[in-house]
C-alpha cells in the first residue's frame, strides 16, 4: 500500500485539534461564520455547492482516460506552487489524520487546511474515523502513514482560473489540492473521489449511496443500499424506519465488494437541512440542533435559533446579515437597494421564485447542510458487524410537468437494474443552483474519476457474486408537476411517509407486482387485494402514474413522455458504450 508524507510543508502544524479547539479556531479565523445559541458553528459559504467545472485531473498523456476534465501537468505544477507559497506565507496548517472506512475498506488520509478553513477541518474530523478505530497499539506508536492527502486553502483566489478557484487531483500521487473554494463538499469529496479510483483498482466499486441494516419480519437481517444524486433523499431514506428494526449505516457513500460485502466510508453524516423538522426527520433534526454539530449555509435567526424553512428574505433580514452576504459575493449595490426598499422581492423573482442574476441573496440558499457524528444517531448499526447486501435501490426525484416515474418499481433482471443504475436519473435540485431540469449521472456517481462505463462493467462483475438481491427504484419527488403545482392541486407529492410505506412493503415482500406495459419493469398492482394496505397509505396515482395522467385528461402527455424517455435513455447509454442486453432491457 502506497504511503506519503503527511506533513510536507515547513510550517507550524496544529496537529489534530479537539472539536472544541477547532470551533474556537473557526470563530477566530473563518470568514462569514455564526455561532448558534446551542454553540454550534454555521458557515455561510461563497460556493453553495460542489462545482465540477472547477475540478481537474492532472494528465498530459493525451489519452481519453477520465470522466473529469484534465489539466496539463506543467500548468498544474504552477498552480500547486502558488498554493505552497501561500501556505508558507500563512505559516500554519491545521492537520487532521484519520481513515475513510473500516475493515478492508479502511484507508488512511491526511487533510491539511490553512486557518480560514478551520470550520472545514472541524467538519472533516467528524466524518473521519480516528486511528484508534483502525490501528493496533503498536501502529499507534508509529508515525501515521496515509494513503491519501488533501491540501485546502479556501481564501487563495486564482485570478487566471474560472471561478478564481481550482480543485486539482493528482491521482498518481493520491493527492488533491483545493484552492479558492470554501464549500465543505470539496474536502469531503476530494478524498472520496480518490477512494473511488483506489477501490476500483482493488476490485470494488464505491457507490454514491446511503445504507441501512434492516431486520425483516422473518427475523433475517439484511443491508440495503440507496443510490441517489444530491437532494434525492438518500439521507432521509437511510434514516427512515422500515421493518422491525432499522439501523443506519451510512448516508452518502459505501464501498461494494464481492459477495455483497460493504464497507463504510464516514463516521458521521452530511445532511441537507432545507425543510428539516422534528416531525419529518426527527433523528437528523435532533442531531443537527445539538451544540456539537457543524452547519453550512443554514439560516440563523436573530435569536440564535436555526430556521430550516427560510426562503425569501425581508429587507430587515438582509440588513441584519449584510456583512455576511457581502463576504460571500453578493452585489453590494443590489443589497443596499433591497434594504432601502428601492427594489422589492417580486421584482427580481420569477414565477417559480428563482432570483434574477445578481439577486441570489434575496432567497436564502436551499442547500443548507449539517455535519453530525454517528455517535449522535441513536440505533446506528455496529459497523464491524454489517450484513450482506440483499436490497439495492436508486432514487429518482422526478419533478416537473413530465414527472411520471412510479412511486416504487422492481427490476426484472440484473441487466435492467444495471441500465437504470447507469442512468442515475433524477431532476436537478437546489444543489445545482439555478440549473434545474432532468439530469443523468452514471450510478449517480459524479465523483468516479475513471470512464463511467467502467462502473457498469464492475457492477456486473460484482452482481454475479451476489445472490437473492432485490433491485428497485423509488421516486422521491412528484407526479405530474412540482411544488407549485401541488399547491394548485395539479400534481402529487411523494411524501416521506409514502416512501417509508413503500420500502417497508418492499422489504417485507408483501407487494403483488405487475409488469408495466411500456417499460417492462414491475410496478405495484394497485387493484390487487394483496396491496390494499399499501394503497391505503400511498395514493394509487403515485404507485401507477399513468392513472393520474388519465384522471386529469393528460393521457397524450404520458404517451409522449414514454417515447421521449426511451429515446433519451437509449442515447445516453449508447454514449457510454453500455452492452446491448442492458440497453434493450432498459429501453425496449
Please say if the pLDDT value at position 442 is more than 50: yes
Could you give the CA distance from residue 417 to residue 455 in angstroms, rounded to a whole number?
A: 13
Closest by Cα among 494, 475, 497, 473 to 483: 494
Q: What is the pLDDT of residues 214-231, one digit of tens each?
A: 888 788 899 999 999 988
Q: What is the DSSP letter of 388?
A: P
Q: Helix, strand, coil proportions of the chain in percent (round to 5)? A: 35, 25, 40
Domains of the chain with CATH codes? 12-202 (3.40.449.10), 206-279+377-587 (3.90.228.20)
User: Measured in whole angstroms, how far is the alpha carbon of residue 567 from the centre of its chain?
Assistant: 28
Say how many C-beta atoms besides its own lie within 10 A of residue 251's C-beta: 27
Backbone φ and ψ of 537, nearest 5°: -95, -30
pLDDT tens-digit series, residues 307-327: 999 999 999 999 999 999 999
pLDDT at 433: 45
Given a contact cutoff of 8 angstroms between Cβ atoms, the answer to whether 202 and 104 are in contact is no
Residue 437 confidence (pLDDT):
62
CA distance 496 to 505: 14
- Distance, CA of 413 to CA of 424 (rounded, Å): 17
Which residues neighbour 316 within 8 Å (Cβ) at sequence distance 6 or greater? Answer: none
Q: Other CB atoms closer than 10 Å to residue 138's CB: what's the count?
A: 7
Q: Work out whether the CA dihedral 331, 332, 336, 337 comes out positive or negative.
A: negative
Residue pLDDT, tens place only, 498-512: 999 999 999 888 899
Indicate if the pLDDT at residue 430 is higher than 50.
Answer: no
Confidence band (pLDDT; 50, 70, 90) for 376?
Answer: confident
Q: What would the grid cell of residue 466 be?
A: 451476489
Q: Are 334 and 325 in contact (CB under 8 A)?
A: no
pLDDT single digits (tens) 233-269 = 888 888 887 766 789 999 899 999 999 999 999 999 9
pLDDT, tens digit, for every residue of 119-137? 999 999 999 999 999 999 9
Task: Determine how many CB atoms are found less than 10 A away from the CB of residue 571.
Answer: 10
DSSP code, position 349? B
Q: For residue 543, what is its C-alpha cell?
A: 404507485
Angle between helices 19-29 and 118-127 (to 10 degrees): 150
pLDDT in tens, 527-579: 999 999 999 999 999 999 999 999 999 999 999 999 999 999 999 999 998 98
| DSSP 8-class letter at 335 | H
High-pLDDT (> 90) share of the chain, %? 83
How far apart are the C-alpha atoms of 274 and 363, rounded to whole Å?
Answer: 13
pTM, entire model: 0.91
Q: List phi, psi (to 5°) of 163.
A: 70, 5
**CB proximity list for 138: less than 8 A, separation 6 or greater:** none
Q: How many residues does the chain have?
A: 588
Predicted pLDDT of residue 243: 62
State the pLDDT at residue 20.
97
The C-alpha atoms of residue 140 and residue 382 are separated, in whole angstroms, by 23
Is the pLDDT score of 280 beyond 90?
no
Average pLDDT over residues 149-168: 98
Per-residue DSSP letters for 171-231?
Answer: GGGTEEEEES---THHHHHHHHHHHHHHHHHTT-EEESEEEEEEE-TTS-EEEEEEE--TT
- For the stretch 376-392, what's the b/e string if a residue is b when 16 or more beta carbons lie within 10 angstroms of its beta carbon? bbeebbebeebbebbbb
Residues 510-520 have pLDDT tens digits of 899 999 999 99
Answer for the pair 267, 219: CB distance below 8 angstroms, yes or no. Answer: no
Mean pLDDT of the chain: 94
- Give 472-488 pLDDT, tens digit per residue: 999 999 999 999 999 99
What per-residue confidence (pLDDT) applies to 553? 97
Name the band, by pLDDT with cuts 50, 70 and 90, for residue 431: very low
Count the neighbouring beta carbons within 10 Å of the beta carbon of residue 554.
Answer: 17
The 209-215 sheet, strands edge to edge: 245-250, 209-215, 221-227, 389-396, 470-475, 408-410, 522-524, 513-515
Q: Which residues contact 364 (CB under 8 A, 6 or more apart)?
A: 299, 310, 311, 312, 313
pLDDT of 165 over the 50 cut = yes
Amino acid at each position: 500500500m502506497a504511503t506519503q508524507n503527511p506533513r510536507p510543508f515547513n510550517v507550524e502544524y496544529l496537529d489534530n485539534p479537539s472539536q472544541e479547539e477547532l470551533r474556537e479556531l473557526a470563530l477566530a479565523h473563518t470568514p462569514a461564520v455564526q455561532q448558534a445559541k446551542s454553540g454550534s458553528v454555521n458557515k455561510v459559504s461563497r460556493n453553495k455547492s460542489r462545482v465540477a467545472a472547477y475540478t481537474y485531473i492532472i494528465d498530459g498523456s493525451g489519452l481519453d482516460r477520465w470522466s473529469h476534465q484534465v489539466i496539463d501537468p506543467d500548468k498544474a505544477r504552477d498552480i500547486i506552487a502558488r498554493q505552497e507559497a501561500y501556505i508558507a506565507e500563512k505559516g500554519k496548517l491545521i492537520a487532521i489524520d484519520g481513515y475513510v472506512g473500516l475493515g478492508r475498506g479502511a484507508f488512511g488520509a491526511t487533510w491539511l487546511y490553512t486557518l480560514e478553513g478551520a470550520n472545514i477541518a472541524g467538519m472533516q474530523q467528524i466524518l473521519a474515523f480516528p486511528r484508534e478505530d483502525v490501528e493496533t497499539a503498536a501502529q499507534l506508536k508509529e508515525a501515521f502513514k496515509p494513503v491519501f492527502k488533501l491540501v485546502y486553502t479556501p481564501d487563495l483566489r486564482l485570478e487566471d482560473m474560472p471561478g478564481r478557484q481550482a480543485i486539482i487531483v493528482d491521482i498518481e500521487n493520491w493527492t488533491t489540492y483545493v484552492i479558492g473554494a470554501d464549500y465543505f463538499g470539496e474536502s469531503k469529496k476530494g478524498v472520496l473521489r480518490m477512494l473511488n479510483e483506489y477501490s476500483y483498482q482493488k476490485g470494488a466499486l464505491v457507490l454514491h449511496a446511503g445504507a441501512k441494516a434492516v431486520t425483516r419480519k422473518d427475523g433475517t437481517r439484511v443491508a440495503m443500499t440507496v443510490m441517489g444524486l444530491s437532494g434525492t433523499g438518500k439521507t432521509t431514506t437511510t434514516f427512515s424506519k422500515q421493518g422491525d428494526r432499522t439501523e443506519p449505516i451510512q448516508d452518502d457513500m459505501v464501498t461494494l465488494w464481492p459477495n455483497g460485502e460493504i464497507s463504510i466510508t464516514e463516521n458521521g453524516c452530511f445532511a441537507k437541512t432545507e425543510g428539516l423538522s422534528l416531525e419529518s426527520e426527527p433523528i437528523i433534526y435532533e442531531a443537527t440542533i445539538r451544540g456539537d454539530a457543524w452547519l453550512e449555509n443554514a439560516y440563523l435567526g436573530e435569536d440564535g435559533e436555526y430556521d430550516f424553512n427560510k426562503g425569501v428574505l425581508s429587507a430587515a433580514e438582509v440588513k441584519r446579515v449584510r456583512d455576511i452576504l457581502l463576504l460571500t459575493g453578493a452585489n453590494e449595490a443590489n443589497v443596499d437597494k433591497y434594504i432601502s426598499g428601492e427594489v422589492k422581492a417580486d421584482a427580481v423573482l420569477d414565477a417559480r421564485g428563482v432570483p434574477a442574476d445578481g439577486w441570489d441573496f434575496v432567497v436564502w440558499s436551499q442547500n443548507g447542510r449539517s455535519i453530525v457524528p454517528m455517535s449522535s444517531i441513536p440505533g446506528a448499526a455496529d459497523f464491524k458487524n454489517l450484513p450482506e447486501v440483499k436490497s439495492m435501490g436508486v432514487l429518482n426525484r422526478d419533478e416537473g410537468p413530465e414527472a411520471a416515474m412510479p412511486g416504487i418499481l422492481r427490476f426484472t433482471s440484473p441487466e435492467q437494474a444495471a441500465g437504470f443504475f447507469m442512468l442515475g436519473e433524477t431532476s436537478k435540485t437546489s444543489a445545482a443552483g439555478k440549473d434545474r431540469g432532468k439530469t443523468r449521472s452514471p450510478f449517480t456517481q459524479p465523483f468516479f474519476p475513471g470512464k463511467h462505463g467502467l462502473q457498469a462493467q464492475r457492477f456486473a462483475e460484482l452482481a454475479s457474486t451476489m445472490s437473492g438481491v432485490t433491485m428497485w427504484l423509488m421516486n422521491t419527488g412528484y407526479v405530474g408537476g412540482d411544488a407549485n403545482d401541488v399547491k394548485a392541486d395539479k400534481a402529487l407529492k411523494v411524501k416521506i411517509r409514502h416512501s417509508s410505506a413503500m420500502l417497508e412493503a418492499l422489504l417485507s415482500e408483501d407487494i403483488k407486482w405487475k409488469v408495466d406495459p411500456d417499460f417492462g419493469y414491475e410496478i405495484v398492482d394497485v387493484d390487487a387485494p394483496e396491496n390494499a394496505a399499501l394503497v391505503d397509505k400511498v395514493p394509487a396515482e403515485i404507485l401507477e402514474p399513468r392513472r393520474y395522467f388519465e384522471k386529469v385528461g393528460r393521457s397524450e402527455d404520458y404517451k409522449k413522455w414514454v417515447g421521449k424517455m426511451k429515446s433519451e435513455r437509449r442515447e445516453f447509454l449508447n454514449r457510454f458504450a453500455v452492452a446491448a442486453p442492458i440497453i434493450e432491457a432498459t429501453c425496449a
